[in-house]
């Protein structure tokens, strides 16, 4: 029997001899606290528990941030449990009610630590999956590139990707609060499995990157103020401006995607929101997401302004024919017409917006628009077809932009595209 076990046994006997229920309850809580310490000890670093090939590893700065967060959380909780046990032993006038209140808070902190582990466990455990682990490491390289803009305007946090079932992607942004109140050291992007592997994966990923980028540039709140001013000054289009304000977070992320990928962003978006007609026109004005029909229209409008080309009109005609509006109720048609008529002015406002962090530059000016023009992308695809090794020197987001443009132009088949993307993802993972 250990010294601690002996002392606990003696303490329990003493409690029983005194016949004091509140003191006997302390012995129960000390046993519970000790059991929690044992469970805490079993929470080992991911590096000791998750097998993966070297090329599937998450970025070193992300791994360090995750392990440091969990190590600090374990150490803090361990100290709190030990302090609680000392309190039970030393404070004679501690009531059962007060002791139970402190212990309940400790349990909540322990569960919050487990929640943090679960958030990152999905990210890291998938790296041991055959093929998918390495492809995910390649996607880590893509999102890092997509967050990079010209100029030293912010320090980009590490970002990692993982796969999950579901229709769309999602992000848990870096520097937001985790369960338990700690700051998240790593942006975690969830990607739908059904998008692996085609150019549509880039559309979803870069949209989520846009959420992180908009936060780092502090874009949203100033834009909301401007849009409120527009709503107040433009009475005929007030409802449209109010909706743009409600949707601005999702729209800016779509803008980030179009600015980075060109038509790849819009065709990928169409792939996500091509749903039964009821859902495409479902107008829940409390939803921060624009309803699908108008969301595609806004993406098309950004594309036409940033990358002028006849392809945008062709894609818009396809969308109009796929989801005609003439059978909708009159009130819905009127709202669609109002919003659609307001899109050009709204798009210009976003493109010309000058966030304070950009020091006078417009939002559009920090993206590689010249390198993503349709004719430029088409020329690159022709060159890469002659010299395939040239693709290895290109920026990851540019690779997806070129291949997405080629798919939109029907210059490559889905099979050719998927094979190329698998190859580049594995190469990026190896280099990283």
For residue 162, the 8-state DSSP code is: E
Would you give the distance in Å from CA 183 to the centre of its chain?
15
Residues in the chain: 432
Question: How many angstroms separate the CA atoms of 82 and 403, rounded?
Answer: 58
CB-based burial, 193-217: b 16+ in 10 Å, e otherwise = eebbbbbbbbbbbbbbbbbbbbbbb
Task: Please report, in angstroms and rounded to a whole number, the separation of the first and last CA atoms in the chain.
Answer: 52
pLDDT digits (tens, 9 = 90+) for 250-272: 999 999 999 999 999 999 999 88
What confidence score (pLDDT) does residue 55 get? 67
Do strands 187-192 and 159-164 pair parallel, antiparallel, or not at all (unpaired)?
parallel
198 close to 418: Cβ distance less than 8 angstroms: yes
Question: How many angstroms separate the CA atoms of 401 and 372, rounded?
Answer: 7
Structure tokens at 95: 């009531």
What confidence score (pLDDT) does residue 7 get? 44
Structural domain boundaries of the chain? 373-431
pLDDT digits (tens, 9 = 90+) for 230-253: 999 998 999 999 999 999 999 999
Structure tokens at 426: 């594995």
337 close to 329: Cβ distance less than 8 angstroms: no
Question: How many angstroms separate the CA atoms of 336 and 218, rounded?
Answer: 30
Count of beta carbons in the 10 Å neighbourhood of residue 356: 10
What confidence score (pLDDT) does residue 135 get? 86
Tens digits of pLDDT across the chain (432 residues): 444 444 444 444 444 444 455 556 777 788 888 887 877 787 666 655 555 556 667 787 888 887 887 888 888 888 888 888 888 887 767 777 788 888 888 888 888 888 877 778 777 777 777 677 888 889 999 999 999 998 889 999 999 888 887 677 888 898 888 887 888 888 888 888 777 777 788 999 999 999 999 999 999 999 999 999 999 999 899 999 999 999 999 999 999 999 999 999 999 999 889 889 999 999 887 888 999 999 999 999 999 999 999 999 999 999 999 999 999 999 999 999 999 999 999 999 999 999 999 999 999 999 999 999 999 999 999 999 999 888 988 999 999 999 999 999 999 998 899 889 989 998 888 887
**Cα-trace Rg, the chain:** 27
234: nearest Cα among 347, 338, 355: 338
Structure tokens at 219: 């874009």
Question: How many angstroms separate the CA atoms of 426 and 56, rounded?
Answer: 9
Whether the pTM exceeds 0.95: the reply is no
- Which ranges of 126-274 does DSSP label H, i.e. alpha helix? 132-147, 200-217, 220-233, 238-261, 263-273
Helix (H, G, I), strand (E, B) or coil at 421: helix
303 close to 312: Cβ distance less than 8 angstroms: yes
**Which class for 21: exposed (0-12), middle (13-18), buried (19 or more C-beta within 10 A)?**
exposed
Question: How many angstroms separate the CA atoms of 73 and 203, rounded?
Answer: 35
């Amino acid at each position: 029997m250990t010294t601690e076990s002996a002392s606990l046994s003696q303490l329990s006997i003493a409690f029983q001899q005194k016949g004091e229920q509140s003191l006997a309850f302390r012995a129960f809580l000390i046993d519970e606290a000790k059991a929690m310490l044992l469970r805490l000890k079993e929470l080992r670093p991911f590096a000791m528990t998750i097998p993966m090939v070297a090329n599937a590893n998450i970025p070193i700065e992300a791994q360090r941030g995750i392990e440091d967060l969990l190590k600090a959380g374990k150490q803090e909780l361990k100290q709190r449990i030990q302090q609680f046990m000392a309190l039970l032993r030393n404070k004679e006038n501690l009531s059962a009610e007060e002791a139970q209140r402190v212990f309940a808070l400790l349990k909540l902190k322990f569960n919050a630590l487990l929640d943090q582990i679960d958030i990152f466990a999905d990210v890291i455990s998938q790296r041991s999956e055959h093929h998918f682990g390495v492809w995910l490491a390649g996607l880590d390289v893509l999102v890092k590139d997509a967050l990079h803009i010209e100029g030293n305007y912010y320090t980009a946090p590490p970002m990692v990707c993982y796969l999950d079932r579901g229709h769309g992607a999602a992000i848990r942004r870096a520097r937001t609060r985790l369960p338990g109140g700690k700051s998240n050291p790593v942006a975690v992007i969830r990607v739908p499995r059904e998008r692996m592997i085609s150019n549509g994966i880039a559309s979803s990923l870069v949209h989520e990157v846009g959420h992180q980028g908009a936060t780092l540039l502090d874009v949203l709140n100033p834009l909301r103020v401007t849009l409120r001013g527009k709503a107040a000054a433009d009475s005929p289009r007030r409802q449209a401006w109010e909706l743009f304000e409600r949707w601005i977070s999702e729209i800016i992320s779509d803008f980030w995607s179009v600015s980075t990928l060109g038509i790849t962003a819009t065709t990928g978006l169409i792939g996500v929101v091509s749903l039964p007609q009821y859902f495409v026109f479902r107008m829940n004005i409390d939803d921060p997401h624009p309803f699908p029909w108008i969301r595609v229209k806004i993406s098309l409008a950004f594309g036409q302004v940033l990358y002028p080309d006849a392809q945008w009109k062709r894609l818009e005609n396809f969308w109009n024919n796929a989801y005609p509006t003439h059978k909708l109720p009159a009130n819905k048609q009127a709202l669609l017409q109002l919003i659609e008529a307001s899109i050009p002015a709204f798009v210009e406002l976003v493109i010309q917006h000058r966030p304070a962090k950009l020091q006078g530059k417009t939002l559009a000016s920090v993206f590689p628009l010249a390198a993503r023009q349709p004719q430029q992308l088409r020329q690159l695809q022709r060159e890469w077809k002659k010299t395939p090794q040239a693709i290895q020197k290109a920026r990851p987001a540019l690779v997806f932009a070129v291949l997405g443009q080629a798919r939109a132009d029907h210059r490559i088949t889905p099979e050719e595209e998927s094979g190329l993307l698998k190859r580049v993802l594995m190469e990026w993972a190896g280099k990283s």
